[in-house]
């Protein structure tokens, strides 16, 4: 049977904590990749640590958001890490997305649509007139136009984007219960896969507290 795929969000500046997360989330039931975001990548030893990781699926969640030249230069600057996945905000614009796709090589370039910490009210606050679904669909169409390899959105939108975006869809905002932290568009792991997510991104629900127990809880939840 095909294994469910998850990226564990390794959000810490502490190398020991990161090592613990990696060790204690390894298991035979799930396919696990590791996502390193701005926190760890910008920490003193983060980049060096990632450069030495072998035989893991690595996702650098850089969330590049800049002018085309800077976006391209950033991708070139991280080339030596040979990461499997790398994120860019679709809001960087079509020119930036196309230019980055030209230089990303074997690294899969993921377009970030609208952060899962935002809802319709937050979009209004920052000046958008579209609602979440409309905006995510619009952004996913741009990702398709730029031939990106994957997108990030919430699992609430997977159904609508999969109608035309046929590559990988990666979904954060995963919660077992209603404890949201800073996330707004949350969903359970089981429902996220049901909706068609290819990969889930899970951070705090796995990495806070007893990691091994949390992983077992996820496995049990998926098998229920
Ligand atoms: O702890 P939690 O499960 O909320 O972690 C989610 C991870 O996914 C964080 O590392 C966050 O930066 C990332 N992410 C997100 N929403 C996006 C893109 C990435 O939550 N749209």
Q: Where are the domains of the chain?
A: 4-222
177 pLDDT band, cuts 50/70/90, is confident
pLDDT in tens, 102-156: 999 999 999 999 999 999 999 999 999 999 999 999 999 999 999 999 999 999 9
Q: Given 5, 31, 63, 167, which residue is catalytic?
A: 63
Residue having the nearest C-alpha atom to atom 19 of ligand 1: 172
Q: What percent of the chain has pLDDT over 70?
A: 100
Is 162 among the residues known to form the active site?
A: no
Domain 4-222 is found in CATH 3.40.50.80: no
Whole-angstrom Cα distance, residue 59 to residue 9?
A: 9
CA of 32 to the centre of ligand 1 (A): 16
Residue 38 alpha carbon to ligand 1 centre in Å: 11
Residue pLDDT, tens place only, 48-63: 999 999 999 999 999 9
């Amino acid at each position: 049977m095909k294994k469910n795929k998850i990226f564990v969000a390794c959000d810490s500046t502490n190398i020991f904590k990161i090592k613990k997360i990696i060790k204690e989330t390894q298991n035979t039931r799930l396919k696990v990749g590791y996502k390193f975001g701005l926190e760890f990548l910008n920490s003193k030893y983060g980049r060096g640590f990632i450069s030495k990781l072998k035989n893991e699926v690595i996702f650098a969640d850089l969330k590049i958001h800049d002018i085309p030249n800077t976006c391209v230069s950033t991708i070139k600057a991280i080339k030596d890490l040979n990461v499997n996945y790398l994120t860019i905000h679709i809001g960087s614009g079509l020119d930036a997305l196309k230019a980055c796709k030209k230089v990303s090589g074997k690294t899969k370039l993921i377009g970030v649509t609208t952060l899962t910490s935002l809802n319709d009210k937050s979009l209004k606050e920052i000046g958008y007139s579209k609602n979440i679904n409309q905006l995510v669909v619009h952004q996913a169409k741009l990702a398709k136009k730029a031939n990106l390899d994957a997108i990030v959105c919430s699992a609430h939108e997977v159904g609508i984007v999969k109608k035309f975006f046929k590559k990988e869809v990666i979904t954060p905002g995963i919660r077992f219960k209603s404890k949201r932290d800073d996330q707004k568009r949350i969903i359970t792991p089981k429902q996220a896969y049901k909706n068609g997510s290819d990969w889930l991104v899970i951070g705090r629900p796995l990495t806070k507290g007893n990691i091994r127990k949390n992983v077992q809880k996820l496995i049990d939840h998926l098998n229920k």
